[in-house]
Structure 1
Amino acid sequence: MRNISTRLLIACAAIGVAGGVLFTAHAWVGGLTVNTIPFLYGVTMGIYFLPGALAQALFHRGGVALLTAALSGLVASPFQPIGFMAFVIGLVIGVAQELPFLVTRYRIWKPWLFIVAGLLHGLITMGAAFGILGGHDYTLAGQILVVAAFFISPPVFTVLALWLARALDRAGVARGLRSDEQDRRRSSKPDLTT
């Protein structure tokens, strides 16, 4: 993250704190539903991808998903049944969210890349959840329901993040914080060195 400003850090921290509150609520509600209605837990699992995707869609900068997701996990850690593991999970999710954009060297911020990333995250979440929840013990209908719920959740919450980012951008939250805006401003200034 080059050219990071205090304002960008504060914006990421605000999203991270809000994400931490959501993570905590999800952990307690999810703890009640994971063993009784696992597909409901799966449908809401994508909430962990919301803060990082929101920061990426809003600021178009490398590293903001990692920072925001890690902060969300850190804020949630004291209030979660899994404690500090919430921070570790936030870090892992942040890294996973950075990878598709890192591959493009943080030059592509199109909605389709967010959707592709969300689908990849859905595959990872689905596989992990199937193993952790013992999906092989469910009936075929149960397996299909759980797999579908965990697969579709990250892309759905990524689309929600894109929608929220558009709304926040219209409100002026990202003004002056996007890396592509700074690049555009630099290229439009006349070169006075010659």
Structure 2
Amino acid sequence: MTKHLTLSETVFLTVMATAMGVAWWAYSLFYGIISPLLKTFALSGLLEGFWHMGGIFFAYIIRKPGSALLGETIAALVEGLISQWGFSALVSGLCQGLPVELLFLATRYKVWSRINCALAGALSALGGYVVTYFWYGYSSFSLNFNLINLSCNIISGAILGGLFSRYLANRLAKAGVLNQFRICADQ
């Protein structure tokens, strides 16, 4: 198998990342209602793991360089075009996808354990929090608030972004819809 993304992998990634971006937009409607309540207690980070799925989900399926960053970024771009987040969604996608890409690159796209996927989700959350801290004004909140919210974001990123992405991809592979990708070739 080639190390570069094939045309079919690129098309799959683009179509599915577009669908994920639309799902993120729909989720942002729910987030807009619940987040202010949780933000009062620095717990809004618990809701953000869903946005960390893009990089892990696509990298876990395709297992090639660029799949994490491209998947997260395309989904974020689509969400930004149709949601209230605008350009900041694209910046978030880049900041969330890059640490995931670097982790999988460091493991040469060969370590797909639960722990590694959870770590990828946590790193995505950490990367995304940089945007939250500076772009959305969280730098004006107390250190205690930011530590609690960042911790919640990392936990949510590890569980929803990392472990749920892995679980969902494994279910799709078991159903036979991912037979042409490395996820199935490696099992």
Q: Same fold (TM over 0.5)?
A: yes
Q: CA deviation at 1:124?
A: 4.6
Does 2:18 correspond to 1:14? no
Q: CA deviation at 1:60?
A: 1.9
Identical counterparts, % of pairs: 24
- CA-to-aligned-CA distance 1:92-121 (integer Å, 9 cap, x gap): 222121011111222323332112222333
CA distance in 1, matches of 2:93, 2:173: 25
Q: Residues 45 and 153 of structure 2 are in contact (CA less than 8 Å); yes or no, is this contact kept in structure 1?
A: yes
SS in 1 for 2:142: helix
Return the letter of the residue paired with 2:27: H
CA distance in 1, matches of 2:147, 2:32: 21
Report runs of 4+ in structure 1 exceeding 6 Å deviation: none
CA distance in 2, matches of 1:118, 1:48: 10
Runs of 5+ consecutive residues of structure 1 not aligned to the other structure: 185-194
Return the letter of the residue paired with 1:117: A
TM-score normalized by structure 2? 0.78
Return the letter of the residue paired with 2:49: G
- After TM superposition, the structure 1 stretch with the greater mean CA deviation from structure 2, 120-129 or 171-180, is 120-129
Runs of 5+ consecutive residues of structure 2 not aligned to the other structure: none
Q: CA RMSD in A?
A: 3.0
1:149 to 130, 152, 155: 152
Q: Residues 118 and 157 of structure 2 are in contact (CA less than 8 Å); yes or no, is this contact kept in structure 1?
A: no
Q: How many residues align?
A: 180
| Structure 2 counterpart of 1:93 | 96
TM-score normalized by structure 1? 0.76
| Structure 2 counterpart of 1:173 | 177
Taking structure 1 as reference, are residues 68 and 122 closer, same or farther at Cα in structure 2, changes over 3 Å only?
closer
CA distance in 1, matches of 2:8, 2:52: 22
